[in-house]
Every structure is written in C-alpha cells, then in structure tokens.
C-alpha cells in the first residue's frame, strides 16, 4: 500500500515482478515506437507540403487578379472609376472577400493615373495541427488549425509625356465690356506658362500650344492657307468658310476646296470714312493670327498681348480650327509653317503610334451669333467702277474721285459699242456736255481693244494706271454701306443709274450661318473631337445662359466645364492648367 507519496512503481518494484528483469533488458518492439515517431513526422511533412501548395496556389491567384485589376484601372482609356474597376475584378474572380476598397489608392490627373492596391487571403493549414503534438506550448488534445495569410500588392501607372493643347479664345467685340478682355489676357498668359513648364528635354516630355483666336471668323494665317485648297477670290485676308458637313469630323479634309471669306467691313464700331477699310470682318495679315504648335512662352505671350477684339461670335469656327490643330492629318501643314527639323515639326502626333494627350480649352463670353459673307455677285464679279491712278502704285482709296469712271450702260453685254461711263466730279456741266463718255478715264482705246476675262474676285489692270475694279476691290476699300453714296449717288442723282443699282450695295452682305445652325455645328464638332480622344475643357466667362449650356454640352464632362466671372477667369484657367500639368510629365 502506497502511503504519503505518489504510488509510482520503481525499479525495485519491476525487479520484484515475475520476469521483471528480463522485461527490462528485452529490446523486442522498440522499432515500432521509432516507426510511429517517423510516421507521424512523415504525415506532418506531407501535410505541410499540401498546405504550402494550397497557400502558394491562393497567393498566385490573388497576385494575378490584383495585377490584372490595377493594370485595367490605371488605363487612361478606362472610363469607369479606378477603385470600382479593381473591386469588380476581384468579385468576378470570386475573391471579393480578399480586398478592402480602403486599401486601393488612386492618384490621377489628365495625363496620368497611378493605382496601388493590397489584398490578402487566409489559407488554413489543414495538416499543420499535427505539429501541436511536438509543441510544448499547445495542448495536444485541443485541436488548433494554424492559418497562413497570403499577401498581394501591386501598382500600375500610365503616363503620357507628349501633350498638344489648342487654346481657343473668344475675341468678339463683347469682350471689351466689363473689363473681360483685360481679365482674360493675364489668365491666358499664366495658363501658357503653367502648361509649358512641363517641357523637359532630359525626359523628352514636350507640351505644345496652338492658340486660336475667334470672333465671327478665325484667321489661320496666310502660311496655313497656302498649304490648303482655297478659292483665290482675293488676297486681302485668309479666313475660310466651312460647309456644315465638315463639323461631323475632327479631321480636317485637305482634299476639299474651301471657300475664302470675302474681305469687307461690316460697319459697326469702325471708322466709317477710312479708306481702305480699317476694321475688316476677317482679320487681315497677322492680326489675331492663329499660333501653330508653339513651345515658346514669349511668342505665345506676345500673341495674347496683341489680340484685338472685334465682331460677332462663332464658337463653332473656333472649335473647328482647334480640332484641326490636333488632327494628325495636318502634319504637313504644321511642318510647312514651323519648319522641318524643329521640336514640333512632326505634330500633331498620331495617337496610334505615339503616347500623346490632346486637349482643347474653349472659352467664350457669349453665344453663337450670325456669320456673314458678301453675296456671290459682289464676291466674284467685276464691278461697274474704273479708276485712273495718278501713279502706278497709288492705293485705290487715295485715287481722287475725279479720276473715277462709273459704267452706266453696256455692262451686261459682250459688245463695247454700247458701253457708257460716267466720270465723277467733273465740275459744272450742262445738257450739251454731260460727263458721260464711251470709254473710262485714261483708256481712250477702250472700244478698239478686246475685252479681258477676269479671274473671279479680281480686277483687271489695262495699264500701269487704269484698273477695272472688282467688287471685292471696292468692299476692301470702303465700308459696304458707304459705297453707294461715295460712288453711285452722283450718277443716280443725274439720272444715269437706276435706283436698284444705286442701293444694291446696301444689300451686299448675306448671313451664311445663323446662331442656331452654329450651335448645331458646335455640338457636332465637339462630339467628334471627344470621340477621337480629345479632352475638351470649356470656360463660360460671364456668358449668358444659352452660351453656358452650349459650352457645358461641348465639354468632356461636367467636371470639365467652368463658369467664371471677373478676375476669377484666372482661377478657371489655373485649374485647367494644373490638371494638364499634374506634377512632371514622365514616362
């Protein structure tokens, strides 16, 4: 009987048992114990291999899903929110439980998007519990299932280092109201400075800006027009007329022959008595000329400072030329203007072969109004006016009235025998000596010489001093509403011209596009530009409700549409410039 201490058989007890000594010395069955230990270890090793294989399978699947998700989300062509794209990829793969939307980080701007995400999935170790048998810290009789956590992390980024910007500015006469024009210029200059600050020769990052100023017209410049098929009705200015069909595409159709807008003065807010006209409807020469793909801050600033507001509002024309300056098909035109071998001579770039962001920034303070031209007769035909210059290079407007001849009969026949000319300002005359002759001043051989066919829109020089003026010559010299009083009143008053001929020039202008049609054309070109991948920002600068609506409809999204007033125009342009800039434009 065991008393006071544990009753544990000692060696003396085993020895006292019958055969106890032999049992103690016997080695029979020892290998079984060793085999059992090895067997358990083998089971544990095999189980661990299975668990690790399951863990690696889950980890690989998780990482692959995450990689595909962030790549899709970072694509700049992806229109859905980046975070939603990542979550959707996981849900479609049956791993929606493995990611928390809070672990998805998105950093994006106009020209870049960076998406980072982390995820994990827990893999239970089905055989790992066997190790508890050898653990002194775990109760071997209480099952424990260890868990391995499979992590995944990934970052995808897409950046565009080439950027082309069309800055489209309203310079209609309404911009002179409420200091709008003075507020616009510094805002536009700061915009240019901000976006051009991204240019970095070390990385090849390049931003170019085309500035398009518009009123009821756009002056693309003689160099641009020289590369296109354009009717040659005059060479006073370079504005073009576009058919409605050309607003259904962002591309510029160089195979089409475009009609040149006539050169005339509408007569509103101009010097009525100036000759030649001082405020043509189409800006002459380099006035408000389009700047083509410039990387020069000083050149663009100078162009902005030199802008001159005048005329009606044709937002559709501004948008059409803005899209044209982003059309890869215009590379030949741009190269002819900027020169070969320059940084921008290969622009506009083709987005198929180059990573390029194309941006239009369109601003107006109004809404589309009427666009005018001369009627065809006054645009292409010869007039009934002849001049005899004092000297060969004398401008038409400087020729004295006493050297003007007005053809009062025979203008509509091929024969010269019935032609009569009223010589203006000949002083006193009576019924026996009217100032009407059978030849124009300075050309006494008129009847004996053959009639010359004129090029449409152009006059004819019969000597170094005698010129048969075209109607286009006349409207480039006098405000259209002044022509009849300046040239036709005297022969009309004296009965040599009909009233209809006398007043005909008062009806020289014709509306070629109305406000509603321009709205439709604007909507079409904006839709075509967006479809081609152009990002469109619009700024309604103290514009009426209708103008705001058309610009909001044009913009790429409501977030790309800005309403500004006063000096806040600078804030709108700054926000757009910052969006385009977004840190450093690197690959």
Evaluate if residue 39 carries a pLDDT over 60.
yes
Helices 515-531 and 315-324, interaxial angle, to 10°? 20
Taking only the tens place, the pLDDT of each residue in 158-199 is 666 789 999 999 999 999 999 999 999 999 999 999 999 878
pLDDT-derived band at 155, boundaries 50, 70, 90: confident
Residue 180 vs residues 184, 283, 549, 567: alpha-carbon distances, Å: 6, 21, 20, 8
547 touches 316 (CB < 8 A): no
To which H or E segment does residue 65 belong? Answer: helix 30-74
Evaluate if residue 265 carries a pLDDT over 80.
yes
426 touches 350 (CB < 8 A): no
Q: Where are the alpha helices (DSSP H) in 390-510?
A: 471-475, 483, 489-493, 499-503
**From 238-252, 303-317, 409-423, 568-582, the region with the lowest mean pLDDT:** 568-582
∠ Cα 88 92 98 (to 5°):
75
The owner of tokens 């106009």 is: 110
Pairing of strands 436-437, 535-541: unpaired
Q: Delimit the CATH 3.40.50.410 region(s) of the chain.
A: 162-373+511-581
pLDDT-derived band at 342, boundaries 50, 70, 90: confident
Across the chain, mean pLDDT equals: 87
What is the DSSP secondary structure assignment for residue 487, as one 8-state letter?
I
Tokens, residue 139: 């109760």
129 touches 114 (CB < 8 A): no
59 φ, ψ to 5°? Answer: -65, -45
Q: Can you give the pLDDT at residue 19?
A: 57
pLDDT-derived band at 587, boundaries 50, 70, 90: very low
Distance separating alpha carbons of residues 56 and 49, to the nearest angstrom:
10
Q: Can you give the pLDDT at residue 406?
A: 97
476 φ, ψ to 5°? Answer: -85, -10
Query: Mean of the pLDDT values across residues 65-69?
Result: 85
171 touches 318 (CB < 8 A): no
Output the CA torsion 184→189→192→197 (10° steps). Answer: -140
Neighbours of 580 (CB within 10 A): 23
Residue 207 vs residues 74, 127, 135, 211, 581: alpha-carbon distances, Å: 22, 61, 67, 13, 9
Tokens, residue 198: 């991204």
Sign of CA dihedral 165, 170, 171, 175: negative
Query: Mean of the pLDDT values across residues 135-154?
Result: 64
Distance separating alpha carbons of residues 43 and 37, to the nearest angstrom:
10
Please, which residues have CB within 8 angstroms of residue 343's CB and are 6 or more apart in sequence? 206, 208, 295
pLDDT-derived band at 440, boundaries 50, 70, 90: very high
What is the DSSP secondary structure assignment for residue 348, as one 8-state letter?
S
pLDDT-derived band at 328, boundaries 50, 70, 90: very high
582 φ, ψ to 5°? Answer: 45, 80
Give the residue from 210, 161, 230, 294 showing the smallest Cα distance to 456.
230
Q: Can you give the pLDDT at residue 144?
A: 54
513 pairs with which residues across the strands? 371
- pLDDT higher at 225 or 24: 225
Query: Mean of the pLDDT values across residues 112-121?
Result: 83
State whether CATH 3.20.20.80 applies to domain 162-373+511-581. Answer: no
Evaluate if residue 351 carries a pLDDT over 70.
yes
421 pairs with which residues across the strands? 407, 437
Distance separating alpha carbons of residues 66 and 69, to the nearest angstrom:
5
pLDDT-derived band at 68, boundaries 50, 70, 90: confident
Residue 320 vs residues 166, 249, 252, 523: alpha-carbon distances, Å: 11, 9, 9, 11
501 touches 488 (CB < 8 A): yes
Q: Where are the alpha helices (DSSP H) in 170-232?
A: 180-196, 222-225
Q: Can you give the pLDDT at residue 542?
A: 97
Q: Can you give the pLDDT at residue 264?
A: 96
296 touches 210 (CB < 8 A): no
Q: Can you give the pLDDT at residue 18?
A: 61
Evaluate if residue 463 carries a pLDDT over 70.
yes
Distance separating alpha carbons of residues 85 and 125, to the nearest angstrom:
32
pLDDT-derived band at 578, boundaries 50, 70, 90: confident
- pLDDT higher at 257 or 271: 257
- pLDDT higher at 342 or 3: 342
Q: What is the 3-state secondary structure (H, E, C) of 228-254?
A: CCECCCCCCECCEECCHHHHCCCCCCC
Taking only the tens place, the pLDDT of each residue in 490-501 is 999 999 999 999
Maximum separation of any 2 CA atoms in the chain, in Å: 176
**From 56-65, 76-85, 393-402, the region with the lowest mean pLDDT:** 56-65
Q: Can you give the pLDDT at residue 120?
A: 81
Distance separating alpha carbons of residues 344 and 582, to the nearest angstrom:
22
What is the percent of the chain with per-residue pLDDT over 90, rounded to a whole number? 61
Q: Can you give the pLDDT at residue 282?
A: 95
Q: What is the pTM of this model?
A: 0.75
Evaluate if residue 584 carries a pLDDT over 50.
no
Label residue 425 exposed, middle or buried (CB < 10 Å: 0-12, 13-18, 19+). exposed
Neighbours of 5 (CB within 10 A): 6
């Amino acid at each position: 009987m065991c008393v006071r201490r544990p009753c544990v058989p000692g060696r003396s007890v085993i020895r006292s048992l019958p055969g106890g000594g032999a049992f103690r010395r016997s080695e029979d069955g020892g290998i079984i114990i060793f085999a059992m230990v090895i067997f358990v270890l083998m089971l544990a090793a095999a189980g661990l291999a299975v668990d690790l294989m399951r863990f690696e399978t889950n980890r690989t699947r998780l990482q692959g899903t995450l990689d595909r998700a962030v790549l899709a989300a970072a694509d700049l062509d992806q229109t859905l929110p980046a975070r939603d794209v990542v979550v959707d990829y996981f849900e479609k793969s049956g791993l929606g439980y493995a990611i928390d939307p809070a672990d998805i980080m998105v950093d994006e701007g106009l020209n870049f998007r960076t998406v980072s995400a982390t995820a994990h999935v827990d893999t239970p170790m089905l055989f790992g519990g066997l190790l508890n048998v050898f653990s002194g810290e775990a109760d071997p009789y209480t099952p424990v299932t260890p868990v391995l956590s499979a992590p995944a992390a990934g970052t995808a980024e897409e950046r565009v280092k080439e950027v082309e910007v069309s800055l489209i500015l309203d310079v209609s006469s309404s911009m002179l109201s409420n200091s709008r024009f003075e507020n616009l210029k510094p805002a536009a200059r700061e915009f240019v400075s901000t976006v051009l600050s991204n240019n970095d020769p070390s990385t090849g990052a390049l931003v170019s800006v085309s500035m398009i100023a518009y009123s009821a017209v756009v002056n693309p410049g003689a160099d641009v027009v020289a590369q296109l098929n354009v009717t040659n009705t005059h060479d006073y200015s370079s504005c073009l007329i576009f058919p409605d069909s050309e607003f259904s595409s962002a591309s510029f159709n160089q195979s089409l022959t475009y009609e040149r807008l006539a050169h005339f003065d509408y007569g509103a807010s101009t010097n009525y008595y100036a000759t030649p006209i001082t405020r043509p409807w189409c800006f002459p020469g380099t006035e408000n000329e389009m700047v083509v793909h410039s990387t020069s801050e000083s050149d663009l600033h100078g162009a902005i400072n030199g802008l001159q507001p005048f005329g009606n509002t044709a937002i559709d024309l501004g948008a059409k030329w803005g899209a044209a300056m982003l059309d890869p098909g215009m590379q030949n035109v741009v190269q002819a203007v900027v020169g070969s071998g320059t940084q921008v001579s290969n622009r506009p770039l083709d987005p198929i072969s180059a990573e390029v962001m194309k941006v239009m920034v369109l601003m107006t303070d109004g809404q589309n109004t009427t666009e005018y031209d001369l009627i065809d007769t006054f645009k292409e035909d010869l007039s009934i006016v002849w001049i005899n210059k004092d000297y060969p290079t004398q401008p038409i407007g400087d020729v004295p009235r006493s050297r003007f001849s007005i053809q009062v009969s025979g203008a509509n026949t091929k024969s010269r025998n019935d032609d009569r000319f009223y010589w203006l300002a000949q002083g006193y005359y009576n019924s026996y000596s009217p100032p009407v002759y059978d030849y124009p001043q300075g050309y006494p051989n008129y009847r004996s010489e053959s009639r010359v066919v004129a090029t449409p829109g152009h006059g004819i020089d019969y000597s170094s001093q005698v010129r048969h003026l075209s109607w286009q010559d006349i409207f480039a010299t006098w405000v259209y509403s002044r022509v009849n009083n300046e040239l036709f009143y005297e022969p009309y008053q004296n009965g040599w011209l009909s009233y209809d001929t006398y007043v005909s020039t008062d009806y020289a202008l014709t509306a070629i596009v109305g406000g509603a049609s321009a709205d439709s054309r604007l909507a079409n070109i904006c839709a075509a530009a967006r479809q081609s991948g152009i990002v469109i920002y619009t700024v309604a600068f103290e514009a009426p409700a209708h103008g705001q609506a058309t610009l909001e409809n044009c913009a790429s999204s409501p977030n790309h549409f800005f309403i500004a007033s006063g000096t806040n125009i600078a804030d709108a342009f700054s926000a757009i410039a910052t969006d385009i800039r977004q840190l450093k434009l690197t690959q």
